[in-house]
């Protein structure tokens, strides 16, 4: 472990096979070679908290970093509390597809699936 981030053995989050495949595809399309996929939680949304997902080149001092088949997933310490046990999934439909957070800590979710309360 280095001082800049924490690599732990038990991931706070996991990725489904479909999500992993889509993240790899997007990383290739967007030419992402540094950093990884940042998953997080912020205040807001209809249920109080909203999920965040984006590619990030920076890994902070208190970030947790997990490797899934070559894809680095970055989670900040505050978000880790709310994301414990969460699986990121990717679901395709006739309109395209979208990522879905399957979070066992969410007691209430919004109809859009992008916000929750814990």
| CATH among 2.30.30.60, 2.60.300.12, 3.40.50.150, 2.50.20.10 for 6-110 | 2.60.300.12
10 versus 82: the higher-pLDDT residue is 82
Mean pLDDT of the chain: 84
Q: SS3 breakdown of the chain: % helix, strand, coil, rounded to 5?
A: 15, 45, 40
Whether residue 26 is predicted with pLDDT greater than 70 in this model: the reply is yes
* Confidence label for 4 from pLDDT (cuts 50, 70 and 90): very low
Query: What predicted TM-score, i.e. pTM, was given to this entire model?
Result: 0.82
Whether residue 50 is predicted with pLDDT greater than 60 in this model: the reply is yes
Reported as a single tens digit per residue, the pLDDT across 64-81 is 999 999 999 999 999 999
Q: Where are the domains of the chain?
A: 6-110
Whole-number Å distance between alpha carbons of 42 and 79: 8
């Amino acid at each position: 472990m280095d001082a800049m981030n924490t690599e732990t053995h038990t991931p706070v989050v996991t990725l489904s096979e479909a999500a992993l495949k889509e993240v790899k595809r997007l990383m290739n399309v967007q030419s992402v070679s540094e950093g990884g996929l940042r998953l997080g939680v912020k205040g807001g949304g209809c249920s109080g908290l909203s999920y965040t997902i984006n590619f990030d080149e920076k890994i902070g001092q208190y970030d947790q970093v997990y490797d899934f088949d070559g894809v680095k997933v970055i989670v900040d310490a505050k978000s880790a509390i709310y994301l414990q046990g969460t699986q990121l999934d990717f679901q395709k439909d006739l309109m395209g597809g979208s990522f879905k957070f399957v979070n066992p800590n969410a007691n209430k979710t919004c109809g859009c699936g992008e916000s929750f309360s814990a």
